[in-house]
């Protein structure tokens, strides 16, 4: 554990399970103070029970980040408890797939509401506080799908591309306020662990949540004059190619 992240305040959206929970755990291990959040209270309670084994320097806030009033309440709760927000991790996401002519419009709307609108709403309220502090970092979990088209994942890839361009725009906009923005683009992740044979081809094509969390820790513990651009994370055996025509 380094001192770079000790006592820093980190808000991680979508942190009741999967990658978000792993990121929250890693920050707690580094001595940070963390806000975990998710829409389902039971999953959030379960995550809190697990994270208490590492540290109790966190609060949990149930919120639907696609609702502006709840997004604001989430950020306000963080500020009320800890007095500041140093790092925002826009991790919450929905993964909906299917052939374009079969995909339900409601699934398309949900994907963009969570993956794009939710990030926008939380970010706008967090940035207001970061501007007062004249410092902050924002990490957007964009997925490799933001760069490459993926079969039967048109809505998901489009939403992640939108999130990436959102982040790119903020890099320039927020630079005068000493707020840094980085897009992190993981390949397919193994978030089910024990259910996948570690020697299978499918497993070897995945990265582990801890791999992604380690990269985020590296970025956010860097000196304030260092700006990371896009961080792409994928297994060394994977060849990244564009969608076949």
**CATH code at 67?**
3.40.50.720
Task: Determine contact, residues 123/47, Cβ cutoff 8 Å.
Answer: no
In a domain, 242, yes or no: no
* Residue 34, strand partner residues: 10, 58
Burial class for 194, CB neighbours closer than 10 Å (0-12, 13-18, 19+): exposed
Q: Which residues contact 129 (CB under 8 A, 6 or more apart)?
A: 75, 79, 84, 85, 136
Is 4 a domain residue? no
pLDDT at res. 206: 78
- Within 8 A by CB and 6+ apart from 184, the residues are 139, 140, 141, 142, 212, 215, 216, 219, 230, 231, 233
pLDDT value of residue 244:
40
Q: What is the pLDDT of residue 194?
A: 43
Tell me, yes or no, if 27 is annotated catalytic: no
pLDDT at position 197 is 47
Q: Which residues pair with 189 in a beta bridge?
A: 207
**CA gap 161, 113 in Å, rounded:** 14
Is residue 153 situated within a structural domain?
yes
Domain containing 195 equals 9-233
- Is 239 a member of any domain? no
- Answer positive or negative: Cα dihedral of 100, 102, 106, 111: negative
C-alpha 113/C-alpha 96 separation (Å) is: 12
Catalytic residue of the set 27, 156, 177, 225: 156
Residue 1 in domain: no
Tell me if 70 is assigned to some domain. yes
Supply the DSSP symbol for 238. P
User: To the nearest 5 percent, what fractions of the chain are helix, strand and coil?
Assistant: 45, 15, 40
244 is a domain residue: no
Question: Is 140 in contact with 183 (CB distance < 8 Å)?
Answer: yes
Ranges of beta strands (E only) in the chain are: 9-12, 33-38, 58-62, 87-90, 136-141, 179-186, 231-233
Structural domains counted in the chain: 1
The answer as to whether 129 is a domain residue is yes
Q: Residue 239's pLDDT is what? A: 59
Q: State how far the Cα of 151 lies from the Cα of 241, in Å rounded to an integer.
A: 12
Q: What is the pTM of this model?
A: 0.91
Residues 6+ apart with CB under 8 A from 102: none
Q: What is the mean pLDDT of each run of 10 residues along the chain (245 residues)?
A: 88 97 98 98 97 98 98 98 98 92 94 98 99 98 83 92 97 97 87 48 72 96 85 73 46
């Amino acid at each position: 554990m380094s001192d770079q992240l000790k006592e820093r305040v980190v808000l991680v959206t979508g942190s009741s399970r999967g990658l978000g929970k792993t990121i929250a755990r890693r920050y707690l291990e580094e001595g940070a103070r963390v806000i975990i959040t998710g829409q389902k209270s039971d999953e959030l309670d379960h995550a809190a029970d697990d994270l208490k084994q590492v540290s109790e320097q966190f609060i949990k806030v149930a919120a639907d980040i696609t609702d502006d009033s709840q997004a604001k309440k989430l950020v306000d709760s963080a500020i009320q408890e800890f007095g500041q927000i140093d790092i925002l991790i826009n991790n919450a996401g929905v993964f909906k797939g299917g052939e374009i002519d079969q995909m339900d419009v409601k699934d398309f709307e949900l994907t963009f509401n969570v993956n794009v609108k939710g990030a926008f709403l939380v970010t706008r309220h967090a940035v207001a506080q970061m501007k007062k502090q004249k410092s902050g970092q924002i990490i957007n979990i964009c997925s490799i799908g933001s760069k490459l088209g993926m079969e039967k994942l048109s809505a998901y890839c489009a939403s992640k591309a939108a999130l990436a361009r959102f982040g790119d725009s903020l890099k320039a906009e927020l630079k005068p306020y000493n707020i840094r923005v980085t897009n992190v683009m993981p390949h397919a992740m193994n978030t089910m662990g024990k259910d996948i044979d570690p020697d299978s081809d499918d497993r070897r094509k995945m990265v582990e949540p801890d791999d992604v969390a380690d990269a985020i820790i590296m970025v956010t513990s860097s000196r304030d004059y260092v700006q990371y651009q896009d961080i792409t994370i994928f297994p060394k055996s994977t060849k990244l190619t564009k969608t076949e025509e």
